[in-house]
Amino acid sequence: MYVIHRFITKKCILAIKISTLQFIYNTGIQFISFILKITAFFNTKIKLGVEGRRKTFKVLEEHINIPHRTFWFHCASLGEYEQGLPVFEKLRARYKTHKIVLSFFSPSGYEIRKNSPIADVVVYLPLDTKKNASRFLNIIKPELAIFVKYDIWPNYLDALNNNSVRTILISAAFRNDQIYFKPYGSMFRKALFTFEHIFTQNEYSKTLLKSIGYNNTTVSGDTRFDRVSNQLKIDNSLQFIEEFLNQKMCIVVGSSWPEDEALFVNFINSKKNNDVKYIVAPHNIKTSQINNFKSKLDTEVILYSEKDTKALKEYSVLIIDTIGLLSKIYSYAHIAYVGGAMGTTGLHNTLEPAVFGIPILIGKNHQKFPEAQSLIDNGGMFAVENQNEFDTILTKLIENDNFRTISGSKNAAYINKYKGAVIQIINYLRI
C-alpha cells in the first residue's frame, strides 16, 4: 500500500508541475503575442510575421476543404525547409492527390518560399495557443504531420496527439543543455513523447532521448546531405559568373556577416593578387551594409545588380546583392568561406559548398553545429580564430594546389558517406 501511495503521490506532483508549466507557458505565449504586435510598428520583419499570422486561417479555409486528404509540413525557417525538402519532394511525388500545407514560423522562411511548388498552401504558423492549434487542425485535418529538426510547439503537438494524427520529427539534433533534459522540462518532454517516431541526425541525440525514456528513434542522419547531393544533379551554370571569373581562381564567401567580411577586407587589401577573384554573397543584402563593405575594399568591386551595365571580367570582387543563387555559385569555387561563426549569429550551411569537393573556412564559434566539427576532424574544413590564422590558411589553400585538392576531396567524400536519410524516412512513412 505504501508503494502504491508513493506512486500515486509522485504522479500527482508531476501532474501539478506540468499543469503549472502549461499555465506559465500559455500565459507567456499571450504576452509574446502582445509584445510582437507592439514591436511590429518598429520592425519590418516582425510586422511581416504578425500580419501573415493574422491571415493564416482565412487562407487555409479558402484552399482546404473536407474531401481533401492532407499532409502538413512544418519548418521554423528557411534552413529547416531546405533540410526537409528532399522528404517533402518524395511525398509530393508519391501522393499526388493529397493537399500539402506548408507552414513557417519565421518570415525569413515564409517570404522566400511562399510559392514553393511542393505545397498547395503556404502559411505562417499561428502562435502556439490551444485555441489556434485546435482551429488549425480542424481546418486542415492532416493524415500526417512532419516537423523538421526542432520548433517543437506543445499545444500543437498535444492537439495532433488528441486527434490521433501520425506525427514525425525528422533531422532532429539534441543537446544536453536543452530544456527537454532539465528537471524543469517535464512539459516539453511530454511534447516529445507525442511524436510517433523521431529520426535523429546522430547517435548522441538518440542517447539523450533514451535517457528520458523515449525509444522510438532511428539514427537516419541529416537530410541535408541528400538535399545538397541533389545539387550535383542539376545544371549549376551561370553565364555571368563565368564572364566575371575569366578562368581565374575563385573564392566564394557565402552568407557573410560584417565580422566575416572584415577578414576579407584586410586580406584582399593586403594581397592584391590579380589571379584570384572573390564572390561575396552577404546574408543581409541591405544597401547600406553592402555599401559599407564595398567602401572598405581597395580594389575594383561590382554588384550583381550592375552586371548588365559593365564588363564583369575587369573586376576583382563581385557582391551578390540578391538571393537564391548561392548554391549554384558554390559550384564555381576553388575555396569557400561560410559566414556566421566569426560572430554570434550562427554558422550557415557548410554542406552546400562541401558537396562540390572544395575546402571550406569558417569562424571560431561553431560549437553548436556538429557537422562543422566533423568536417574539421575530417580535414576538409578549417576554423579560424583571428586575422592571422585566416591569412595563413587561406594563403596556403591559394598557393598549394595539392593541399587544396586533397582538402576539398575530403569534404566530397564526407557528404557521399552520410547521404541516405531520406530513403529511411520514406520507407518508414508508408501510408
Contact 146, 72 (CB under 8 A): yes
Question: How many beta carbons lie within 10 A of that of residue 153, not counting itself?
Answer: 20
Can you tell me the distance from the alpha carbon of 254 to that of 339, in angstroms, rounded to the nearest whole number?
6
Q: Which of 80, 82, 261, 352 is catalytic?
A: 80
3-state secondary structure of 242: helix
- For the chain, first and last CA: distance in Å? 46
Cα(92)–Cα(89) distance, rounded to whole angstroms?
5
Residue type, 304: Y
**3-class secondary structure, 297:** coil
Cell of 117: 511548388
Cβ distance 315 to 248 under 8 Å? no
Tell me the C-alpha to C-alpha distance, in Å, between residue 276 and each of 244, 280, 301, 415. 11, 13, 13, 27
Query: Catalytic residue at 243?
Result: no
Reading the block at residue 128, the C-alpha cell is 502556439
CA distances from 242 to 237, 245, 281, 394 (A): 8, 5, 16, 22
Show the cell assigned to 34: 502582445
Q: Which residues of 59-78 are buried (b: 16+ CB within 10 A; e: fewer)?
A: bbeebbeeeeebbbbbbbbb
Q: Which residues are catalytic?
A: 80
